[in-house]
Amino acid sequence: MNVLKEVITQELENLNEQQLQQVGDFIAFLKYKSRIASLKIDEKQMAALYQEFEEEDRKFAEEGIDEYAKSLNQQDLR
């Protein structure tokens, strides 16, 4: 075991339960971050997906804005 691992192991022995939970959460985060970093995203495929759903997204956004404006008007009338 190298020196850094030994120091970390000794430090872990002195932590309370809450601190150990935080260390566990941080280790889980590091593992997650490592998995995400290893993913390769095909930018051309992503661009094609954005293009494919662009019109639908625009329509949803416009519908959402209309509903929001109606809601604001109703609030003003109260």
pLDDT of residue 1: 62
- The ranges assigned to domains in the chain are 1-39, 40-78
pLDDT per residue as tens digits for the range 24-77? 999 999 999 988 888 888 889 889 988 999 988 888 887 777 777 788 888 877
pLDDT of residue 58: 85
- DSSP H/E element including 52: helix 43-77
pTM reported for the whole predicted model: 0.47
Query: Any idea what the Cα angle at residue 63 is, between residues 58 and 64, rounded to 5°?
Result: 95
Q: How far apart are CA 30 and CA 27, in angstroms?
A: 5
Whether the pLDDT of residue 9 is over 90: the answer is yes
